[in-house]
Amino acid sequence: MAKSSRVSAAVKSGRNILIWLLVVIVALLGLNWAAVAFQGGEWTPKLALDLEGGTQVVLEAQLPEGASPSGEQMNQAVSIIRQRVDASGVSEAEITTQGGQNVVVSVPGEMDAETQARIESSAMLEFRPVLFSETSDVIQEVTPEMMGLEPGSTFSPDPAGEPADPSDPIQVSEQTMADFYAFNCADMGNRTEPAPSDQPLITCDEAGMEKFILGPVEITGAHIQDASNGVVTTQQGAATGQWAVNLEFDATGTEQFRAVTERLYGIGSTPDPTTGMPDQNRSRFAVTMDDAVIVAPTANAVITDGKAQITNSSGAFTEESTQALADQLKFGALPFSFETQSTQTISATLGTWQLQAGLIAGAIGMALVFIYSLFQYRTLGLVTVASLGILGVVAYLVVTFLSNQEGYRLSLAGVAGLIVAIGITADSFIVYFERIKDELREGKTLATAVEHGWSRAIRTILASDAVQLLVAIVLAMVAVGNVRGFAITLGITTLIDLFVVTMFTHPLMRLLATTKFFAGGHPWSGLDPKALGAVYRGRGEFKTTATTAKKKGATHEAQRRQSIAERKAAELSAAGKSDES
């Protein structure tokens, strides 16, 4: 009764797991349908540069006449531009140097405006204090009092030639103010050279809505260690729903930023002698890229640990805008600026027939696995065929989903990763089936052999997949281009292999173990105890001798699997019987 109860529980568990497998497949279908219906997605994975072609942009380094970039600088530029492209969600891009002074960026498909803007925004980020600002539609006469100077003062440089600090408005001359009001934000794109880092800068924000007079550069983007976006939380850890950009500086940047915020916070908290109110405008610092202000927050505290948070009290920050700003801050520190020399459409480097050849190779590999499985395991091999079919369906849906949602593109190397997955999955089946066979040879019933075999096989399968997944992770971290695509595909299919074996192969075997065809050991089932030599009973002891084994139709499998001690025991037994006769 207890044994029957355990079998019933195993069957019920197997059915439930198969139902959950069906739910997962339907969910993947639903996610892909939603992407196609509402997000412009497709039912087929997007192809990479080698299979589809794409867009190529050539960037030329802008340096003083006669100067040339070093190899280290060009490698740094390639690394940062690659990070920018990857941050935009474009995968399988190719970024190389050309002629020692150009960077060639090739991306699959048509390059969108946002990605091209990321690539072309190549000047170094700079942090400057705000000396004066106003919205671009306001024109008024500026007095010394408005600039925080004593009444009667004039806009002239300090006689000593140096301002008291980078935020000192004394460095703004009358000519600078005249230039400020004459400056049109629409002329931002006409600048051919970057502004001097030690002089005030007249500029606008990227939208052209606010004009600034900025002080000299105090921190460069090279000292930004990390930048990310996230939701602001309270001291108790509760989310406020307000989006922010989190900045982290390196050791040098931390000290520089401490000095800047200490000075700016002091200005913002000290009442102005003329108005009696703190000058919040002069407690701001601007972050510029290509001399355009991308953000100009107010210093609300002294930051001593190099970790700052940029927020917007009006709620203008969204998840998308903060992500874009974080990417600009994180990937903006190029060693020099670049200018776009050309943009053109390029054809596929391999083409459709290579893709077809890869798919044909995969089909041949799949067919050979099918043939081997049927030859080695007979009808049990159909479980392998069905499992590989489920693997193919799940892998296709996952890759298509990642293509629609994360910009993943399938390269020929990625196709190779999918083909390799066939061998990985077949190996898992072989381990499982051989463990079941071992249990049957020990005289167990099929239902018991399935459970015991699974508990032994899963450890081996987990160890094998863990090693494979570790290799894929390492490759994805250190490699670029097609090799990285291969690593990603290999990692995905390794996880799917474990999913299919757990959610389909084992539950299906639980159900098959209750059928008469398999449980009864039909010769064509692949699980015939006699064919497997299931005669073992204990150490050195067998249920049948070689003579009776032949009469019962058992193979020599049991004799072949005997240990040396067992063979000697059998020989001694046979010799004793011969002497008696």
Q: What is the dihedral of CA 36, 41, 42, 47, to 10 degrees?
A: -170
Both 482 and 366 in one domain: the answer is yes
pLDDT band at 273 (very low <50, low <70, confident <90, very high): low
Write down the pLDDT at residue 575.
Answer: 65
Nearest to 200 by CA among 225, 168, 239: 168
pLDDT band at 349 (very low <50, low <70, confident <90, very high): low
Q: Does a structural domain hold residue 317? A: yes
pLDDT at residue 375 is higher than 70: yes
Give residue-wise pLDDT tens across range 195-218: 778 888 898 887 788 889 898 989
For residues 279 and 272, is the Cβ–Cβ distance under 8 A? yes
What is the spatial distance between Cα 218 and Cα 259, in angstroms, rounded to a whole number? 10
What is the spatial distance between Cα 182 and Cα 46, in angstroms, rounded to a whole number? 50
Q: Which position has the token pair 């009290």?
A: 313
Bridge partners for 219 per DSSP = 127
Write down the pLDDT at residue 79.
Answer: 75
Locate 287 and state its tokens: 């972050």
Looking up residue 110, the CATH number of its domain turns out to be 3.30.70.3400
Both 41 and 60 in one domain: the answer is no
Looking up residue 502, the CATH number of its domain turns out to be 1.20.1640.10
Percent of the chain with pLDDT over 70: 74
Both 109 and 60 in one domain: the answer is yes
Q: Does a structural domain hold residue 475? A: yes
Both 102 and 134 in one domain: the answer is no
Within a 10 A sphere around the Cβ of 153, how many other Cβ atoms?
A: 14
pLDDT band at 537 (very low <50, low <70, confident <90, very high): very low
For residues 33 and 397, is the Cβ–Cβ distance under 8 A? no
**238 alpha carbon, distance to own chain's centre:** 28
Q: Which position has the token pair 């009808």?
A: 379
Both 156 and 193 in one domain: the answer is yes
Boundaries of domain holding 139: 126-333
Q: Mean pLDDT in the chain?
A: 76
Domain-ending residue, one of 114, 143, 161: 114
What is the spatial distance between Cα 177 and Cα 201, in angstroms, rounded to a whole number? 11
What is the spatial distance between Cα 292 and Cα 321, in angstroms, rounded to a whole number? 17
Between 246 and 414, the more confident residue is: 246
Residues 229-236 have a mean pLDDT of 83
Write down the pLDDT at residue 26.
Answer: 93
Can you list the alpha helix ranges (DSSP code H) found in 199-285?
A: 251-269
Domain count across the chain: 4
pLDDT band at 236 (very low <50, low <70, confident <90, very high): confident
Give residue-wise pLDDT tens across range 44-78: 888 777 777 778 888 887 777 767 777 777 877 78
Both 93 and 134 in one domain: the answer is no
Domain-ending residue, one of 305, 333, 361: 333
pLDDT band at 157 (very low <50, low <70, confident <90, very high): very low
Between 217 and 407, the more confident residue is: 217
Between 559 and 296, the more confident residue is: 296
pLDDT at residue 352 is higher than 50: yes
Both 456 and 325 in one domain: the answer is no
What is the spatial distance between Cα 355 and Cα 361, in angstroms, rounded to a whole number? 10
Both 373 and 468 in one domain: the answer is yes
How are beta strands 46-47 and 409-410 bridged, if at all?
A: parallel
pLDDT at residue 400 is higher than 80: yes
Element (H, E) at 448: helix 446-478
Residues 457-478 have a mean pLDDT of 87
Residues 34-49 have a mean pLDDT of 82
Question: DSSP string spanning 492-513?
Answer: HHHHHHHHHIIIIIHHHHHHHT
Q: Does a structural domain hold residue 252? A: yes
Q: Does a structural domain hold residue 294? A: yes
Both 359 and 316 in one domain: the answer is no
Between 134 and 162, the more confident residue is: 134
Domain-ending residue, one of 476, 491, 519: 519
Q: Does a structural domain hold residue 131? A: yes
Bridge partners for 227 per DSSP = 247
Residues 239-267 have a mean pLDDT of 88
Q: Does a structural domain hold residue 345? A: no
pLDDT at residue 154 is higher than 60: no
Percent of the chain with pLDDT over 90: 4
Q: For 440-470, b where at least 16 C-beta lie within 10 A, e where not — what string? A: bbeebebbbbbbbbbeebbeebeebbeebbe
Element (H, E) at 244: strand 239-249
What is the spatial distance between Cα 512 and Cα 519, in angstroms, rounded to a whole number? 8
Between 503 and 82, the more confident residue is: 503
Among 115-124, 364-373, 401-410, 439-448, the range scoring the smallest mean pLDDT is: 115-124
Nearest to 288 by CA among 350, 397, 402, 206: 206
What is the spatial distance between Cα 296 and Cα 278, in angstroms, rounded to a whole number? 18
Nearest to 48 by CA among 546, 568, 481: 481
pLDDT band at 20 (very low <50, low <70, confident <90, very high): very high
Q: Does a structural domain hold residue 529? A: no
Write down the pLDDT at residue 258.
Answer: 92
Q: Which position has the token pair 């204990």?
A: 538
For residues 387 and 500, is the Cβ–Cβ distance under 8 A? yes
Write down the pLDDT at residue 554.
Answer: 45
Q: Does a structural domain hold residue 372? A: yes
For residues 57 and 85, is the Cβ–Cβ distance under 8 A? no
What is the spatial distance between Cα 426 and Cα 432, in angstroms, rounded to a whole number? 10
Name the phi and psi angles at 227, rounded to 5.
-150, 135
**98 alpha carbon, distance to own chain's centre:** 28
Between 185 and 335, the more confident residue is: 185
pLDDT band at 275 (very low <50, low <70, confident <90, very high): low
Name the phi and psi angles at 47, rounded to 5.
-100, 155
Write down the pLDDT at residue 255.
Answer: 92
Give residue-wise pLDDT tens across range 75-131: 777 877 777 777 666 666 778 888 778 888 888 777 777 777 767 665 567 889 988
Burial class (CB in 10 A: 0-12, 13-18, 19+), 344: exposed
What is the spatial distance between Cα 350 and Cα 52, in angstroms, rounded to a whole number? 8
Both 299 and 428 in one domain: the answer is no
Within a 10 A sphere around the Cβ of 246, how many other Cβ atoms?
A: 17
Cα separations in angstroms, 304 against 59, 262, 298, 408: 38, 9, 16, 40
Both 265 and 289 in one domain: the answer is yes
Nearest to 247 by CA among 231, 262, 218, 226: 226
Element (H, E) at 381: helix 381-406
Give residue-wise pLDDT tens across range 521-531: 677 777 766 66
Write down the pLDDT at residue 577.
Answer: 57
SS3 content of the chain, % helix, strand, coil (to 5): 55, 15, 30
Both 161 and 194 in one domain: the answer is yes
- Three-state secondary structure call for residue 541: strand
- Three-state secondary structure call for residue 34: helix
Write down the pLDDT at residue 25.
Answer: 92
Write down the pLDDT at residue 279.
Answer: 64
What is the spatial distance between Cα 261 and Cα 283, in angstroms, rounded to a whole number? 8
Does the pTM of the predicted model rise above 0.85?
no
Locate 561 and state its tokens: 């699997």
- Three-state secondary structure call for residue 153: coil
